[in-house]
Structure 1
């Protein structure tokens, strides 16, 4: 039987994220890591979003200067748009987290985050810091600084607003305050049980020249980061492009840059650099007591390294273990011991990993683990132990910075298993699946500004630090060395070969409610379908949690005899009772063995990142809506990140996705309206060819509704029958006052009378990329503005053309409809509904 020892697992043991499965062991990596082993310096780059980081500078710092280099992004990019799929909000943040991790694998930096949520575009830091809860996010920045201990901190943006976005400016404000706060024992003293105060040498602003904004100057400190690395065979402009091109949801594929390229810096706090970024910082082993001798030994090992026989360096490398272990600086001892151990494994030809037999296990079930080891040179190496480390249970942390962890010691044949030369050794063991693999920042509901994180020690991590891993204990040349390997699922795809994906630990049964919103327009009941999936052999029941004003029938549905992999659906009839609120959250609850679960399951899969699995609440929204609908058949031309068709179907429309052939050669007269998705004119260049046919449809009596587009990269500027320009103007306050300029406009009266109440409860923003230079043939019935700004009427324009009607709207329906905002549904239906007596 496995022996389980519950211990308290501190954040600083977890190391800001997972250990990697079988890191690179090629000669290029070995030689680069030799150089890094000899450098004791660190730099932290700070900005607001995925894609804000200067990938060329990060690559240069990490792989040319060999500093420990990190990027701290305030947010995970949750508030942006998605150019490759329909995910929005938290789901988009999950994708962009993985895109950043993919970028860091290229440029060699590490990735960190705060709890701040990207709530959408912000026009200034006052709004941003209020919504984020400045003190809370500042504590996160201080925590990362104290843990990472950067010698130099670099901001991407200034505190004076040239970065444009309020999040950008806020990231600089927080970095500047954290520079001093991290060194102050009176600031966030609860952290000091686990980390020490830290004073960086300097805070710099990496000035920039973007478009018409140039903040660089000849008198600023500068470095040439366009140099060539002959070991890697690339310059840092080339690496930067490869890194940045991982930001695929933002369409940031980049061309490789080659040759000289200067980065400029302005000193914000601390001593200004004169000749080097690290002026005044000893980045050699001389910075720690007794380190000079270690540095000399490392230099000797590097000099004697034989590229044809790297195993000859193992004995000398192992001899360094005791010397580094005697280093009094605990931070650098920890960093350099890990680096040294990885070099030893690479030079020894020691490869090892652990993977599960299946991709998915239910909480509490037995996981089948296969650990593999090979020693390619046959050195004196034994495997002394295998231990699975994972979260002990699903009850949460025992204090703000502690996590209860379970250690499962797995048997190895013989007390000390000698690893013979170049013979793959496989060990099969079992342990219990200990915690549902939900991203830690999504475990609890959260307000708009920040994620709720129960265990503060998790903060900073890009992924769950308590995900299962296997600890390998080896005896190498007489020294015990411990390595961690992230537990993964490995399989062979016939077309792609060997594939690694994260192992999933799930609830016993998940419940996915088919629709996100259910629109009720009368007292007529609706069927609510719930799709259930079992991940273990089980039996239980499912219910709808009682809701005021609503009745669900039946009260309970039992299920028995379910096996792993079974999927089935159940239906509840939900009826409004007459006194229901306008919006109600409906929750499905699964009960198994006296325990309840209320979680769905969602998979996000893209080729450029690992599979993402999360377990959203098993919830949907019931919306009691006084809604009149005219027409039935809608033609839709998809855009980017577009969930509007699903919302239209829920209302009752028959939505057909139009092909180019249907647009160019088909009869469009049968559609009551044709709608283009968000940013369709940015992502679909064929709309330039299709546009004349769409305008012909309008002229012949049709109703064309065009949703917002970015003003850059339009397929055609002639979107409408009369001129207008898309401009970078938006209203970010979702509660901004709406003024009706033309109360008689049919758009606001047919088939639903739009009132001020219909603009209540909007989320994230009113709209973006409004229009200007509006031709007099259009009417603009609405006016709005953010506080302190001039009013604009570019949110909705409507114009008659021939026998039909053209509508352009920059209102953020793509956010409001999936969020179930009642008034947005009523107004959007009006856009789709051209009165019959209108020309």
Structure 2
């Protein structure tokens, strides 16, 4: 097998078109690209989260007006909820990053991020900007502006709070500050080694009407973006629906809209627009010296374009590329050269790609690459070159005479280079190092803005076209054929030599009885070495290590250890798995995230678990669980000894539910499970006959039925975001605070992200309000946990975020949740 060595570091997540690695080359794309060639303008949209962007406006700006259009989302949406799976936090941020990239492939805009972490709902910008590290996030926004050089910046939210979320308001504050700072050489001067200062023409607020909040006004500047584009055969309300429907973790599937759609804008900084967003901005080729002849030539190509023979335009486009390469404006030279090269390839039917022979490699391995090249047309290409780096290349001179032979597929394996080059793991750059609550840690500030790792594996293809060297790059993917789905492209993964996954995230000890800890190992090369578990004092692990030998690539196996606490004092510690192989230590697991609508995601989290020694008593054994939008509560309950059965509709409707000591309903089940309308009477019958039912939080709309409990209450958009907020016991003698565990103030120590969300009010008098809490400066809210007797049984509704606390190993959350499952007989 011939192999090459990649000097570039391997990346984690590579954005892909699901059907091919090359850009689209259809006539619609060609026509839109021709129109864009003569437009020199750019717009940057700024907001806080995935889904905050106005996709219809982005599509209109990118595909109707042909501006270079970008969306800067300050966060990756890490702190939200997941309607399609149980990923939370960083994992959810990875998914939403890919959902945004999928949306951008539809609406035509580009995607950027800052280092800000979505730490959950925030009630004001003061808290947000403090947690985010105001100056660092501002620096990221300035960096993106200086690189992107937008003529106009648009923010989704105002600085005055109508956006309703501290992150929203903060995004507007950052946008306003960055508008000025990007033009000031005294602000973030270290960036000026790589970019120049930039002053946008204006900053606008894209006003809105959401629910009861209407910030639009008749005297605001407005444009109709609901127009129909005959080239693409859609209006921008249709394009936007396709784009926005990629936000599947948020349940944002959207109906297509057609017809007039006004967008309103208020000028925040700079001069106000009059007849267009770009009022006062020259968006023609006359904005650069020597641009006028280029515009004339592009117009000639457009006028004489032959849809039946697009390849006839290639020589003229190559000439335009040469002219663009001679202009002095480096920004527009770079942008328009890229557009022209893609257009040349599309018109010439020039297709080429490189793909890896295997899906996964270990650090230091050589990667086998196959390259393929094809064109259906006779093109003036007497020479071409394929290379992985300038040092290693294959040069094909006069391979086919003086041109590609139309219709012939060239296939070759690159074979230059020797030795092994150490490559980086496929780890997202913002997750390489530990980070604070509010900001990710970047190896260097120039990484900011990138949606994915910029150092992905790639191959360069260079063609001698009409005497000019035209170079392209292609990401290296792994390609295979699925019998049901056909040809599939997947990201190439570079892994540690051996990964170690501790099979549970938490190990709960309520006695000094030992527990078995299993570690799943996977080899990505031929490996010999050892695996051991490391724990701090207070724990005993045996054996100290287990050796392994001659594990072939692809081998998976499980090793077993025993862990026992040596102290009776409640405490929480980290258990770490360490693999020694090839003279190096590795402490990484492997995690794969796969959904149909995004590329596969692979990352290598720390090979760690929590050891939690707590005073925990349990009552009952068997729990039925009704899945909601996705959470990891069942796994947490299993860890403390419960038998958890995932209940199907058939189980609920056709079996004797009295065998369950408790039935728990997962988060947002009454938002996403329409069959609960049918199942609810049977569940209420279970409670009435002596059962114990616990329902976790739902959002206030849409609900599949309004009466969730046996007596009325109303879900509202109220929450306590301070995870350290004092909790008051309204009914200290309530069984849920006393049986089987005595709940104290200490049980609310160490909670993460928030106390709870979507509390309830208008609570019927049959319910007991158990707890009260509030964020600083707000009135006490008793709507986080309500309990009532119903017939012979008990019903509890809780807005406390157990779905976050239990997977995080918060001891007090376990004790309280077990109490909810345990009804005194």
Question: What residue number does 1:668 align with?
Answer: 657
Question: What residue number does 2:699 align with?
Answer: 710
Indicate which of 392, 395, 402 corresponds to 1:409: 392
Contact preservation (8 Å) 1:72, 1:112: yes
Equivalence map 1:223-372=2 (5 Å): 223-372=223-372
Distance in 2 (CA, whole Å) between partners of 1:3 and 1:227 is 50
Q: CA 1:600–1:8 in structure 2 vs 1: closer, same or farther (change >3 Å)?
A: closer
Distance in 1 (CA, whole Å) between partners of 2:761 and 2:3 is 69
Question: What residue number does 2:52 align with?
Answer: 52
Distance in 2 (CA, whole Å) between partners of 1:8 and 1:557 is 32
Deviating more after overlay: 626-635 vs 313-322: 313-322
Question: What residue number does 2:409 align with?
Answer: 424
Question: What residue number does 2:586 align with?
Answer: 597
- The alpha-carbon deviation at position 6 of structure 1 amounts to 7.0
Distance in 1 (CA, whole Å) between partners of 2:193 and 2:783 is 54
Aligned residues: 814
Question: What residue number does 1:731 align with?
Answer: 720
Distance in 1 (CA, whole Å) between partners of 2:689 and 2:311 is 79
Q: CA 1:213–1:475 in structure 2 vs 1: closer, same or farther (change >3 Å)?
A: same
Contact preservation (8 Å) 2:535, 2:574: no
Q: CA 1:605–1:581 in structure 2 vs 1: closer, same or farther (change >3 Å)?
A: same
Match of 2:687, SS?
Answer: helix
Contact preservation (8 Å) 1:531, 1:567: yes
Match of 1:570, SS?
Answer: strand
Deviations 1:647-706 (A, max 9, x none): 000010000111112211211111110000001111111111111111111111111001
Contact preservation (8 Å) 2:53, 2:156: yes
- The alpha-carbon deviation at position 593 of structure 1 amounts to 1.0
Question: What residue number does 1:398 align with?
Answer: none
Distance in 1 (CA, whole Å) between partners of 2:388 and 2:356 is 12
Distance in 2 (CA, whole Å) between partners of 1:345 and 1:152 is 31
Match of 2:490, SS?
Answer: strand
Indicate which of 547, 556, 574 corresponds to 2:563: 574
Distance in 2 (CA, whole Å) between partners of 1:632 and 1:473 is 67
Distance in 2 (CA, whole Å) between partners of 1:359 and 1:288 is 45
Question: What residue number does 2:42 align with?
Answer: 42
Contact preservation (8 Å) 1:378, 1:422: no
Contact preservation (8 Å) 1:533, 1:568: yes
Equivalence map 1:509-588=2 (5 Å): 509-578=498-567, 582-588=571-577
Match of 2:755, SS?
Answer: coil
- The alpha-carbon deviation at position 412 of structure 1 amounts to 4.0
Contact preservation (8 Å) 1:86, 1:642: yes
Distance in 2 (CA, whole Å) between partners of 1:580 and 1:753 is 17
Q: CA 1:704–1:259 in structure 2 vs 1: closer, same or farther (change >3 Å)?
A: same
Contact preservation (8 Å) 1:18, 1:467: no
**Are 1:818 and 2:814 an aligned pair?**
no
Question: What residue number does 1:177 align with?
Answer: 177
Contact preservation (8 Å) 1:633, 1:655: yes
Contact preservation (8 Å) 1:102, 1:246: yes
Match of 1:411, SS?
Answer: strand
Distance in 1 (CA, whole Å) between partners of 2:117 and 2:302 is 45
**Are 1:466 and 2:449 an aligned pair?**
no
Contact preservation (8 Å) 2:4, 2:369: no
Q: CA 1:415–1:737 in structure 2 vs 1: closer, same or farther (change >3 Å)?
A: farther
Match of 1:75, SS?
Answer: coil
Q: CA 1:227–1:42 in structure 2 vs 1: closer, same or farther (change >3 Å)?
A: same
Contact preservation (8 Å) 2:382, 2:397: no
Equivalence map 1:735-750=2 (5 Å): 735-750=724-739
Indicate which of 785, 791, 805 corresponds to 2:794: 805
Question: What residue number does 2:120 align with?
Answer: 120
Contact preservation (8 Å) 1:140, 1:460: yes
Contact preservation (8 Å) 2:349, 2:377: yes
Contact preservation (8 Å) 1:550, 1:580: no
Q: CA 1:53–1:383 in structure 2 vs 1: closer, same or farther (change >3 Å)?
A: farther
- The alpha-carbon deviation at position 416 of structure 1 amounts to 6.4
- The alpha-carbon deviation at position 303 of structure 1 amounts to 1.0
Equivalence map 1:630-641=2 (5 Å): 630-641=619-630
Q: CA 1:579–1:186 in structure 2 vs 1: closer, same or farther (change >3 Å)?
A: farther
- The alpha-carbon deviation at position 506 of structure 1 amounts to 0.9
Question: What residue number does 1:392 align with?
Answer: none
Q: CA 1:7–1:375 in structure 2 vs 1: closer, same or farther (change >3 Å)?
A: closer
- The alpha-carbon deviation at position 387 of structure 1 amounts to 2.0
Contact preservation (8 Å) 2:512, 2:568: no
Distance in 2 (CA, whole Å) between partners of 1:777 and 1:8 is 62
- The alpha-carbon deviation at position 549 of structure 1 amounts to 1.4
Could you list the runs of 4 or more consecutive aligned residues of structure 1 that deviate by over 6 angstroms after TM superposition?
1-9, 16-20
Question: What residue number does 1:396 align with?
Answer: none
Deviations 1:220-265 (A, max 9, x none): 0001101111110001111000000111111111111111111100
Distance in 1 (CA, whole Å) between partners of 2:48 and 2:30 is 33
Contact preservation (8 Å) 1:5, 1:408: no
Q: CA 1:476–1:525 in structure 2 vs 1: closer, same or farther (change >3 Å)?
A: same
Contact preservation (8 Å) 2:3, 2:367: no
Deviations 1:566-604 (A, max 9, x none): 000001111111177611011111111111111111111
Equivalence map 1:391-410=2 (5 Å): 409-410=392-393
Equivalence map 1:44-123=2 (5 Å): 44-123=44-123
Contact preservation (8 Å) 1:383, 1:472: no
Contact preservation (8 Å) 1:47, 1:73: yes
Distance in 1 (CA, whole Å) between partners of 2:5 and 2:616 is 59
**Are 1:657 and 2:646 an aligned pair?**
yes
Distance in 2 (CA, whole Å) between partners of 1:509 and 1:476 is 46
Q: TM-score with structure 2 length normalisation?
A: 0.96
Match of 1:222, SS?
Answer: strand
Distance in 2 (CA, whole Å) between partners of 1:34 and 1:298 is 8
Q: CA 1:583–1:68 in structure 2 vs 1: closer, same or farther (change >3 Å)?
A: same
Distance in 1 (CA, whole Å) between partners of 2:451 and 2:9 is 21
Indicate which of 626, 635, 642 corresponds to 2:631: 642
Q: Which has the higher contact order (CA 8 A, sep 6+)?
A: 2
Match of 1:438, SS?
Answer: coil
Distance in 2 (CA, whole Å) between partners of 1:499 and 1:5 is 23
Match of 2:813, SS?
Answer: helix
Distance in 2 (CA, whole Å) between partners of 1:591 and 1:197 is 49
Distance in 1 (CA, whole Å) between partners of 2:191 and 2:145 is 11
- The alpha-carbon deviation at position 411 of structure 1 amounts to 2.6
Equivalence map 1:683-698=2 (5 Å): 683-698=672-687
- The alpha-carbon deviation at position 385 of structure 1 amounts to 2.1
Distance in 1 (CA, whole Å) between partners of 2:220 and 2:746 is 54
Match of 2:426, SS?
Answer: coil
- The alpha-carbon deviation at position 293 of structure 1 amounts to 1.2
Match of 2:392, SS?
Answer: strand
Structure 2: tracts of 5 or more residues without a match: none
Equivalence map 1:602-641=2 (5 Å): 602-641=591-630
Contact preservation (8 Å) 1:18, 1:463: no
Question: What residue number does 1:394 align with?
Answer: none
Distance in 1 (CA, whole Å) between partners of 2:354 and 2:823 is 62
